[in-house]
A and B are shown apart, each in its own frame.
Chain A
């Protein structure tokens, strides 16, 4: 039950690379780390999920929170590298229709 969070800030965008499991135990850590980047004006956040092996609904909650915060600040979020299982989670919840999601590991804009 562990997560690794790597943040790379570039001029145009911030890339957050995640690996491990996102569940009730690790979600608060992810929220704390990622949230400040969504509160800047017009931030572009890219989240690489290719190393994520498990995510439950609490993890999904973090992404909804990030998405709402970015929307409020005219920012964007792109999720890349989703496994089939993660993709299904975003499909079922209808989030795939409103979020920018690329399931391949190469996340082109």
Chain B
């Protein structure tokens, strides 16, 4: 039987119990009744009308003025009823919006997808995990006609949908860059002009841009305010920070970006990351660079993709599986 059909009897029963004994039980029953009424979308004014009918049946001797007062209470509750119905319809709309954002997030994944290039001398791995639905981190690879590979890793500050739109803009500018301007400094200068013109002034982007030439084995790179990467020298076992200075994208359109070069020997590794890696907070404070390097050393013998996956697992564990920031790690390992 429907709740609506039995509610009058149920309510009367609760009321009677309470008028007779004032037990806790009756109060508990009325709480349960209230939850059920909400579930069946009973409005506040309906409740008062129910109350009036019940009390008239239970206590026929009740004073006329008290009963009349309930009519006023009922009128007053009308607006509350309207507000309640509005709340219900907003909840429906909210559910629809959440669905749409989910669709947008998966579309973003498809649109921004980048293929990790396969070349003989370099083993490449990448992992990127968003803290929220839409990531502010972005990485992109471009394989050039001459065999060289461009890699870019970026963090768009200003998260959510504007950041996602901004990423698409970057991806298409990068893909449509002419073959003769692959130099990382040029890439950043060009993107900086695009971002400066088109993006909301409070939004900006940090980006690391690199170019690997498989003939000379030289990795050239420039940074626009991005977290420095690490370079692992296989012969000495030393990790160096890949220091590169340069202003964030989107702050000043006249910015020039200095280019740096690094010779990559067999076994050497280039590690690029987002600040979600280094600003990763643990129970005891911040992640120290030594800890990060420790994890990388632990897995250094593995394939590039496995190193990235394993380091992510370790950091995830360290943060109690609660990502606070987007996380992106790219590993380039020279194999021959």
Are the CB atoms of B224 and A65 closer together than 8 Å? no
Q: How far is the CA of A57 from the CA of B206 in the complex (A)?
A: 9
**Is residue A52 contacting chain B, with contact meaning CB distance below 8 A?**
no
> Across the interface, do B247 and A98 meet the contact criterion of CB distance under 8 Å?
yes
A residues less than 8 Å from B117 (CB atoms): none
B contact residues vs A (CB 8 Å cutoff): 155, 157-159, 201-204, 206, 224-228, 245-248, 251-252, 275, 279, 281, 286, 324-325
Which residues of chain B come closer than 8 Å to A97, judged between CB atoms? 245, 247
Closest-by-CB residue of B relative to A97 is B247
Binds B, one of A8-16, A43-51, A88-96, A100-108: A88-96
10 additional contacts (CB under 8 A) given A61-B158, A95-B225 = A31-B202, A56-B279, A56-B325, A57-B157, A62-B202, A64-B202, A67-B251, A68-B251, A94-B245, A95-B251
Interface of A (DSSP majority class): helix
Q: A38–B271 Cα gap in the complex (Å)?
A: 39
Contact between B248 and A95, CB atoms less than 8 A apart: yes
Give CA–CA (A31, B157) in the complex, Å: 14
**Which of B202, B245, B252, B325 contacts A61 (CB under 8 A)?**
B202
- Give the residue of B224, B228, B246, B275 whose beta carbon is less than 8 angstroms from that of A57: B275
Contacts of A66-95 to chain B: CB distance below 8 A: 67-69, 85, 92-95
Contacts of B224 in A (CB 8 A): 94
Assembly CA distance A27 to B203 (angstroms): 13
Contact between chains at A92 and B201 (CB < 8 Å): no
How distant is the Cα of A67 from the Cα of B286 in the complex, in angstroms? Answer: 28
The distance from the CB of A59 to the nearest CB of chain B, in whole angstroms, is 9
Q: How far is the CA of A60 from the CA of B226 in the complex (A)?
A: 12
Contact of B225 among A54, A58, A85, A92 (CB under 8 A): A92
B275 cross-chain contacts in A, Cβ below 8 A: 56-57
Residues of chain A contacted by B225 (CB below 8 angstroms): 92-95
- A7 adjacent to chain B (CB < 8 Å): no
With the chains together, A57 CA to B324 CA distance in Å?
A: 12
Give the docked Cα–Cα distance between A60 and B156 (Å): 12
For the complex, give the distance between the alpha carbons of A68 and B281 in Å.
Answer: 30
How far, in angstroms, from A98 to B248 measured CA to CA in the complex?
11
B228 and A92 contact, CB distance less than 8 A: yes
Is A5's beta carbon under 8 Å from chain B? no
Measured CB to CB, the closest approach of chain A to B8, in angstroms, equals 48
A-chain residues with CB within 8 Å of residue B206 when the two chains form the complex: 57, 93
List, in ascending order, chain B residues with CB within 8 A of A62's CB.
202
A60: min CB distance to chain B, Å: 7
B159 touching A24, Cβ below 8 Å = yes
Query: Which residues of B sit under 8 angstroms from A68, Cβ to Cβ?
Result: 201-202, 251
A-B contact pairs, 8 of them (CB 8 A): A24-B159, A62-B202, A68-B202, A92-B228, A94-B248, A95-B251, A97-B245, A98-B247
